[in-house]
């Protein structure tokens, strides 16, 4: 029996070693003694090497784009080899154990800006996507007409949320850059700010730089990150403001006195900015902060300070009231814009649950009529 146990132990030892290696690679030790809490400084050698790799990858992507425009058969090979070289080595280093927090954050920002260039090089001299043309027209109207709330027939709701156009035209006027260059510069800054805010938000929750970096990589793997969230559209600015609000709120939860009031004032300014930037993102922030305040109010932990509860409640009230006040003050048709979409989605969900069919015209948010079906 002893010999059998000894043989089993010898057989299991290699598998246990491999399992420990995999756990060290894919995640931190949840017992708290893993390699995540490193005190080593950032490795300048790795940063320089990966910066060079990213530059080479972008050159391959640019070559692939050029070959594609010429119709060369080698275009897919150049493009996708560049995409793999851009993402894989940097992502592995970001998620690897024993990497300094500052190095992880730097490499995340490097990868973020490289992915933004990846999107921009598709059309490096002008806007290319549907929403971008709509907001470009609004920015041109603001720059030439010097008036806010000018009608935008292709996207009427956007006229009531002019923050993106205000910032873009301000950069254009201050620097002398054309609107496209000013918009590209703004979006590059917004992408970096988004990942930095996301990193700080996740870190305040997890307390681990490595889990935070992996969470950021997971978010960046979303199909909307490269194109949709990098477009010249009001949600690109709105989501950055939303993540800044979440990051500041999470970082200020343990503050007391004047620092807490200062954080609350900053959150109020960000919420006011978000209210005039993007409707759905403001609604999302209101739902999140409202639920957070409700959960804090329902907690029975007496160690939670009354000041913290009040601050959370004030934040939630501001998050709900400011967008509503802006809708009333600007007279925009937010409910008419989003209401039919929500109603149709709810009906479709009920149809899926109860097995009742929804007419195609209702799925499209249109009335069933001969003209709509043509």
Tens of pLDDT, residues 171-229: 999 999 999 999 999 999 999 999 999 999 999 999 999 999 999 999 999 989 999 99
Give the residue-averaged pLDDT of 344-364.
70
pLDDT category at 248 given cuts 50, 70, 90 is very high
pLDDT of residue 18: 61
Most confident by average pLDDT, 231-240, 250-259, 331-340, 346-355: 231-240
CA distances from 225 to 54, 93, 191, 367 (A): 18, 20, 9, 34
Residue ranges making up the domain that contains 357: 340-373
Residue that is last in its domain, among 122, 137, 155: 122
- Closest to 78 in 3D by CA, of 65, 69, 91: 65
Last residue of a domain, one of 87, 122, 157: 122
362 pLDDT more than 90: no
Q: Are 252 and 260 in contact (CB under 8 A)?
A: yes
Among 67, 101, 122, the domain-final residue is 122
pLDDT bracket for residue 296 (50, 70, 90):
confident
- 73 lies in some domain: yes
The count of other CB atoms within 10 Å of the CB of residue 309 is 14
For residue 319, which of 295, 299, 296, 291 has the smallest C-alpha distance? 291
Of 112-126, 300-314, 356-370, least confident by mean pLDDT is 356-370
Please state the rounded mean pLDDT for residues 335-361: 74
Angle between helices 179-206 and 101-120 (to 10 degrees): 150
Distance CA 203, CA 99 (A): 15
In a domain, 66, yes or no: yes
Residues in contact with 88: Cβ distance below 8 Å, sequence separation at least 6, in sequence order: none
Listed in sequence order, the DSSP H helices in the chain are 2-26, 44-70, 75-95, 101-120, 130-145, 163-175, 179-206, 209-220, 223-226, 234-251, 258-275, 279-298, 306-330, 334-354, 360-363, 370-373
Domain assignment present for residue 52? The answer is yes
Residues in contact with 262: Cβ distance below 8 Å, sequence separation at least 6, in sequence order: none
Residue 6 has pLDDT above 70, yes or no: no
- Rounded Cα distance between 43 and 1, Å, is 51
Q: For residue 302, what pLDDT band results from cuts at 50, 70 and 90?
A: low
Rounded-to-integer distance, Cα 223 and Cα 111, Å = 15
How confident is the prediction for the chain on average, in pLDDT? 84
In a domain, 71, yes or no: yes
Establish if 274 belongs to a structural domain. no
- Spatial distance between the Cα atoms of 214 and 26, rounded to a whole number of angstroms: 9
Q: Is 368 among the domain residues?
A: yes
Residue 314 lies in a domain: no
137 lies in some domain: no
The number of folded domains in the chain is: 2
Task: State the Cα–Cα distance between residues 141 and 270, nearest whole angstrom.
Answer: 26
Give yes or no for residue 366 having a pLDDT over 60. no
User: What are the residues whose beta carbons fall under 8 Å from the beta carbon of 168, sequence distance 6 or more?
Assistant: 139, 179, 182, 183, 186, 232
Give the tens place of pLDDT for each residue, 46-72. Answer: 999 999 999 999 999 999 999 999 999
Separation between Cα atoms, residue 200 and residue 260, nearest integer Å: 17
If pLDDT is split at 50, 70 and 90, which confidence band does 358 have? low
Indicate whether 12 pLDDT > 80: no
């Amino acid at each position: 029996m002893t010999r059998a146990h000894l043989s089993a132990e010898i057989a299991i030892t290699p598998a246990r070693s491999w399992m420990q290696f995999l756990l060290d690679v894919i995640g931190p030790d949840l017992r708290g003694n893993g390699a995540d809490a490193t005190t080593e400084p950032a490795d300048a050698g790795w940063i320089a090497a990966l910066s060079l790799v990213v530059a080479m990858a972008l050159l391959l992507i640019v070559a692939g784009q050029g070959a594609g425009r010429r119709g060369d058969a080698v275009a897919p090979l150049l493009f996708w080899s560049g995409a793999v070289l851009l993402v894989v080595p940097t992502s592995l280093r970001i998620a690897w154990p024993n990497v300094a927090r500052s190095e992880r954050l730097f490499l995340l920002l490097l990868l973020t800006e490289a992915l933004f260039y990846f999107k921009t090089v598709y059309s490096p001299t002008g806007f290319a996507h549907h929403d971008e043309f709509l907001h470009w027209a609004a920015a041109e109207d603001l720059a030439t007409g010097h008036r806010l709330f000018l009608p935008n027939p292709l996207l009427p709701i956007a006229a009531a949320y002019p923050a993106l156009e205000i910032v873009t035209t301000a950069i254009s006027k201050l620097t002398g850059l054309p609107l496209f260059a000013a918009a590209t510069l703004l979006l590059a800054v917004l992408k970096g700010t988004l990942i930095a805010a996301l990193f700080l938000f996740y870190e305040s929750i997890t307390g681990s730089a490595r889990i935070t970096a992996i969470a950021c990589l997971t978010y960046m793997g979303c199909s909307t990150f490269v194109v949709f969230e990098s477009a010249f559209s009001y949600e690109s600015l709105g989501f950055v403001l939303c993540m800044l609000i979440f990051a500041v709120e999470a970082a200020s939860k343990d503050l007391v006195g004047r620092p807490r009031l200062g954080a609350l004032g900053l959150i109020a300014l960000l919420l006011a900015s978000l209210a005039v930037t993007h409707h759905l993102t403001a609604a999302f922030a209101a739902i999140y902060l409202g639920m957070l305040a409700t959960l804090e109010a329902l907690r029975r932990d007496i160690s939670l300070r009354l000041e913290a509860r009040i601050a959370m409640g004030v934040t939630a009230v501001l998050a709900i009231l400011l967008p509503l006040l802006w809708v009333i003050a600007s007279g925009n048709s937010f409910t008419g814009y989003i209401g039919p979409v929500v109603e149709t989605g709810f009906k479709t969900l009920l149809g899926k649950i109860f097995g009742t069919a929804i007419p195609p015209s209702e799925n499209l948010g249109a009335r069933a009529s001969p003209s709509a079906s043509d």
